[in-house]
C-alpha cells in the first residue's frame, strides 16, 4: 500500500474503518463533552453521526462520532486501537464504498 498522507492507516485501522462496529467494546478517551470521557460499553447501533453504546449497567448512551476519540477493543480484549470518531463518519456502507 502506498500512502501519501502524514499518517498511513495500519491494517487494523483499515479493517475497522471498513468494518462493522456493532458488537465491539469501546472506551471514550477524550471528547469535547467532558462528561463522555471514560464512558465504555458495547456498540449496539451505529448511525451516520452517532454510536450507541450499552454500558455494563444496561444504560444506552449516544456518542457523537465527530467529538470523541475512542479505544476500540478486538476479540478477547486484545490491545486496543485508538481512533478518532470523526474518521468513522458515515454509515459502514459509506465507509466501504470510499
pLDDT per residue as tens digits for the range 49-84:
999 999 999 999 999 999 999 998 877 767 888 889
State percent of the chain over pLDDT 90.
45
- Domains located in the chain, CATH noted: 21-97 (2.30.30.210)
Greatest mean pLDDT among 20-24, 30-34, 80-84, 92-96 lies in 30-34
Distance of alpha carbon 6 from alpha carbon 54, whole angstroms: 34
Distance of alpha carbon 70 from alpha carbon 30, whole angstroms: 7
Amino acid at each position: 500500500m502506498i500512502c501519501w498522507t502524514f499518517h498511513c492507516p495500519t491494517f487494523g485501522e483499515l479493517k475497522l474503518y471498513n468494518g462493522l462496529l456493532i458488537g465491539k467494546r469501546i472506551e471514550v478517551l477524550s471528547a469535547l463533552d467532558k462528561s463522555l470521557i471514560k464512558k465504555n460499553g458495547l456498540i449496539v447501533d451505529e448511525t451516520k453521526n452517532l454510536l450507541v453504546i450499552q454500558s455494563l449497567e444496561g444504560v444506552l448512551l449516544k456518542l457523537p462520532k465527530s467529538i470523541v476519540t475512542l479505544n476500540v477493543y478486538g476479540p478477547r480484549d486484545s490491545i486496543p486501537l485508538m481512533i478518532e470518531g470523526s474518521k468513522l463518519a458515515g454509515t459502514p456502507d459509506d465507509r466501504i464504498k470510499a
